[in-house]
Amino acid sequence: MKVYLVAHAPSSVQRLEDFAKLAFNLDLVDVLVVTKPSGVAAQVGLPEISKMAYKLDKKLVVLPDIDDAVELLKPDKVYTVSHDYGRRVRELEKADSVMIVVGLSDPGLTKTEAQKGEAIYPDGTSGDIGPIAAVSILLSGLGK
């Protein structure tokens, strides 16, 4: 199974770097995709994670929007991680290729962005645990 992990609209350098560390250090993730980066994350964060990707021999793709990522990479299944709009799931449906889109800006994905795939959120959480923790839980189910 091929897994594309999408960091959508990052604006914080730290959050983008933390997300990249997760993506680059999980063997399950094949490609980290960054869409619609802005502010300091675009100016400082992208060069930093580009260096990280090069050193770790990992794949990094930067694109303007979620639609571009779906069109270019053609995943079989697209999930959007959203506390506000997602249905609660214990594990993800497996497919040949899966794209998981995570909003890295506050307050996360908009309703329109969440509808670009199957909107989900990890079951067993009592509140919003943040995008990196949420995707970590969801990815742990794919690795089994």
What are the tens digits of pLDDT across the range 53-102?
A: 999 999 999 999 999 999 999 999 999 999 999 999 998 988 999 999 99
**How many domains is the chain built from?**
1
Token digits for 68?
């571009």
**Rounded Cα distance, 59 and 71, in Å:** 18
DSSP code per residue over 63-80:
ESSHHHHHHHH--SEEEE
Token digits for 28?
């399950």
Q: What is the pLDDT of residue 126?
A: 87
pTM metric for this prediction: 0.96
User: Looking at residues 24-44, what average pLDDT do you find?
Assistant: 96
What is the domain-level CATH number for residue 35? 3.40.1280.10
CA quadruple 129, 135, 138, 139: dihedral, nearest 10: -150
**Residue 144 pLDDT greater than 80, yes or no:** no
